[in-house]
Amino acid sequence: MRRRGPWFLLLPVLLLVVWHLAVTRQWVAPGIIPAPAQVAESWYRWIFGKPGLSLSPYSGTWLANVLYSSRRVLEGFLIAAAAGIPLGLFIGWNRLVARVVDPSIQLLRPVPITAWLPFSIAVFGIYDAGALFLIGLGAFYPIVVNTTHGVRDTNLLLLRAARMLGAGEATILRKVVLPSALPSIFTGLRLGVGVAWTAVIVAEMIAVKSGLGYVLWDAYYVGRMDICVATMFSVGLLGFLSDRVIHGLSRVLLRWRALEAHA
């Protein structure tokens, strides 16, 4: 049997080598992009260093900032899921709701999160409420659109069978449509959590005094590109882990699909 090698490492390692060469051989102007080793060193200090001087938040504060951002992402994401899944179910299930609500969602969906910034500040002010609004809004669209799609894709034979067996609308929605739409809902949740991590950077650049987005912009203003890059990796890593969690959850909840496939 042929052994599977760690092929997934090939591209990142290659990119690291190109990045290292670009900096050390000065393919880019010196001091603009930090070398990978510099980023690793600063990241290590950011995670494990002793809390620094008052004007320097880049020593020993990584975990605290990760927790701040994670909390905001989780809260915003949960708000988006709580609003997006039921709304998506109703849009997909009921034509009247679809006619009334769907056009507005499709109209607002292309507006980027950054365009909502001034509105968010004006309505929610600075601090957490504005951040939650932006994160929630960003995650909401993929969740609602995918849920709607999942409901509309429900197998008609299943619906007819349920009706013939005397099931009411609520029962059909709960016992037939929802399970059938779950794969699409999970796709929406996975996309939504990715957008939530994107939105947290935008949200935290407004005014909050914590979180990875805050650190990224703060570091940029004082020319610490090494910390900017470390923040980008941190966000990528956390986004990846969040996706794995939702993916794992979907595998547990959608086990019936695997069993169905084997049947």
The footprint of another protein (CB under 8 A) covers 28-32, 34, 42, 52-56, 58-59, 117, 121-122, 125-127, 205-209, 214, 217-218, 220-226
Helices 178-204 and 212-221 cross at an angle (nearest 10°) of 30
Q: Which of 67, 187, 208, 66 is nearest to 132 (CA)?
A: 208
Q: How far apart are CA 128 and CA 131, in angstroms?
A: 5
Question: How many CB atoms lie under 10 A from the CB of residue 139?
Answer: 30
Q: How far apart are CA 183 and CA 146, in angstroms?
A: 9
Q: What tokens were used for 7? A: 């092929």
Nearer to another protein, 48 or 127 (CB): 127
Nearer to another protein, 39 or 178 (CB): 39
How far is the first Cα of the chain from the last one, in angstroms, to the nearest whole number? 28
Nearer to another protein, 8 or 221 (CB): 221
Nearer to another protein, 26 or 104 (CB): 26
Q: How far is the CB of 128 from another protein (least distance, A)?
A: 11
Q: How far apart are CA 220 and CA 47, in angstroms?
A: 18
Nearer to another protein, 122 or 252 (CB): 122
Q: How far is the CB of 97 from another protein (least distance, A)?
A: 36
- Tally of residues, the chain: 263
Tokens 């959590």 sit at which residue?
193
Backbone angles phi, psi at 45, to 5 degrees: -65, -35
Q: How far is the CB of 15 from another protein (least distance, A)?
A: 21
Per DSSP, the chain holds a count of helices (H) and strands (E) of 12, 0
**At 71, which amino acid appears?**
R
Nearer to another protein, 152 or 217 (CB): 217
Q: How far is the CB of 197 from another protein (least distance, A)?
A: 19
Q: How far is the CB of 40 from another protein (least distance, A)?
A: 14
Nearer to another protein, 196 or 216 (CB): 216
Contacts of residue 192, Cβ cutoff 8 Å, sequence gap at least 6: 77, 80, 81, 84, 138, 139, 140, 141, 142, 143
Q: How far is the CB of 104 from another protein (least distance, A)?
A: 27
Q: How far is the CB of 108 from another protein (least distance, A)?
A: 22
Query: For the CA atoms of 26, 31, 37, 39, what is the dihedral angle to 10 degrees?
Result: -140
